[in-house]
Amino acid sequence: MSVAAPPAGRTWVDEVHIRLIQESDLPALEWEGEFAHFRRVYADAFRRFILGLNLMWVAEWPPVGLLGQVFIQLECDRPELCNGIDRAYLYAFRIRPEYRNYGLGGKMMDVVENDLRLRDFHWITLNVARENTKAQELYARRGYRIVAPEPGRWSYIDHKGHIREVVEPAWRMEKRLS
């Protein structure tokens, strides 16, 4: 799929459908190979989605396809991030660069936050890279506040079976969902 720049104006954002993922969407999350190294991560997240342990949302605009994604972990081994009761963890929030700054990120966050409220979650947490000031500003505008530093160390097995180590110092941010 070739991804074209969005048309002028914001009316196209109103045509974007935010929905839960389908298994057939998984290849499109790789963005023409740019994120192929996350193939196993996406497959594992989908397995957890099927088991009810997390949620996977995508933003789809029919003329183009998937423009964004955001995953929500409902249970994990770090209760300060998510506990399966009242605290959920947002991760893998990504919008194609050419579609940023049109309000799509806010629209996705509205859907996710409203869904979590309906599920009786009261808190949402996330980690944002310390260098990603644009994302920090988006979250701050939406009422998230920095609550702790995070080392940002994690690893995964890529699509070729190699272990990849990631070190991306981050800030943990949280928001009370009222």
Task: Assess if residue 48 is contained within a domain.
Answer: yes
Averaged pLDDT of the chain: 94
Is pLDDT at 10 greater than 80 in this prediction?
A: no
Is pLDDT at 4 greater than 90 in this prediction?
A: no
Burial of 59 (0-12, 13-18, 19+ CB in 10 A): buried
Task: Say whether 50 sits in a helix, a strand or coil.
Answer: helix
Structure-token pair, residue 87: 């605290």
Q: Is the pTM of this model over 0.85?
A: yes
Task: Assess if residue 102 is contained within a domain.
Answer: yes
* Residue span of the structural domain in which 98 resides: 11-126
Task: Assess if residue 163 is contained within a domain.
Answer: no
Task: Assess if residue 142 is contained within a domain.
Answer: no
Structure-token pair, residue 122: 């009261």
Q: What is the pLDDT of residue 2?
A: 53
Task: Assess if residue 65 is contained within a domain.
Answer: yes
Question: CB 101: neighbour CB atoms within 10 A?
Answer: 11
Q: Which residues contact 92 (CB under 8 A, 6 or more apart)?
A: 45, 69, 70, 71
Task: Assess if residue 156 is contained within a domain.
Answer: no
Q: How confident is the model at residue 152 (pLDDT cuts 50, 70, 90)?
A: very high
Q: How confident is the model at residue 11 (pLDDT cuts 50, 70, 90)?
A: confident
Q: How many domains does the chain have?
A: 1
Q: Which residues contact 162 (CB under 8 A, 6 or more apart)?
A: none
Burial of 29 (0-12, 13-18, 19+ CB in 10 A): buried
Select from 77, 120, 112 the least CA-distant residue to 91.
112
Q: How confident is the model at residue 7 (pLDDT cuts 50, 70, 90)?
A: low
Task: Assess if residue 71 is contained within a domain.
Answer: yes
Q: How confident is the model at residue 98 (pLDDT cuts 50, 70, 90)?
A: very high
Task: Say whether 9 sits in a helix, a strand or coil.
Answer: coil
Task: Assess if residue 88 is contained within a domain.
Answer: yes
CATH code (residue 37): 3.40.630.30
Is pLDDT at 3 greater than 70 in this prediction?
A: no
Burial of 8 (0-12, 13-18, 19+ CB in 10 A): exposed
Q: Which residue has the tokens 């409220």?
A: 117
